[in-house]
Amino acid sequence: MTNMIHPETRLGEVKLKVSQLERSIAFYQDVIGFRVLNQYDRTAELTADGSSSLLVLEEIPNAITTRPRTTSGLYHFAILLPTRRDLGMVLRRLIEAKLQLGQADHLVSEAIYLSDPDQNGIEIYRDRPREEWKHEADGSVVMDSLPIDWEGLLNEAKDVPWTGLPAGTTIGHVHFHVHSLEQAKAFYCDALGFEMQADLGRRMGALFIGAGGYHHHIGLNIWAGQNAPRTPQNATGLAYAEIILPSGEELEAVIKRLRDSGYSASYEDGFWFIIDPSGITLKLSAA
pLDDT, tens only, 19-59: 999 999 999 999 999 999 999 999 999 999 999 999 999 99
CA distance 262 to 257: 9
pLDDT at 1: 45
**Fold of domain 13-238:** 2,3-Dihydroxybiphenyl 1,2-Dioxygenase; domain 1 (3.10.180)
DSSP string, 3-61: SPPPTT-EEEEEEEEES-HHHHHHIIIIII--EEEEE-SSEEEEESSSSSEEEEEEEPT
Per-residue pLDDT at 159: 87
pTM of the predicted protein model: 0.97
Tell whether the torsion through CA atoms of 180, 221, 192 and 115 is positive or negative.
positive
pLDDT in tens, 212-237: 999 999 999 999 999 999 999 999 99
Taking the C-alpha atoms of residue 130 and residue 214, their distance in angstroms, rounded to an integer, is 9
7: left (phi over 0), alpha (psi -120 to 50) or beta: alpha
The enclosing H or E element of 151 equals: helix 150-156
Q: Are 250 and 286 in contact (CB under 8 A)?
A: yes
Domain positions in the chain are 13-238
Write down the pLDDT at residue 267: 96
Question: Listing from the earlier edge strand, what are the strands of the sheet with 170-177?
Answer: 102-105, 109-115, 121-127, 73-81, 170-177, 218-221, 206-210, 195-200
Q: What is the pLDDT of residue 53?
A: 98
Single-letter amino acid, residue 39: Q
* pLDDT tens digit at each of 287 positions of the chain: 468 999 999 999 999 999 999 999 999 999 999 999 999 999 999 999 999 999 999 999 999 999 999 999 999 999 999 999 999 999 999 999 999 999 999 999 999 999 999 999 999 999 999 999 999 999 999 999 999 999 999 999 998 999 999 999 999 999 999 999 999 999 999 999 999 999 999 899 999 999 999 999 999 999 999 999 999 999 999 999 999 999 999 999 999 999 999 999 999 999 999 999 999 999 999 99
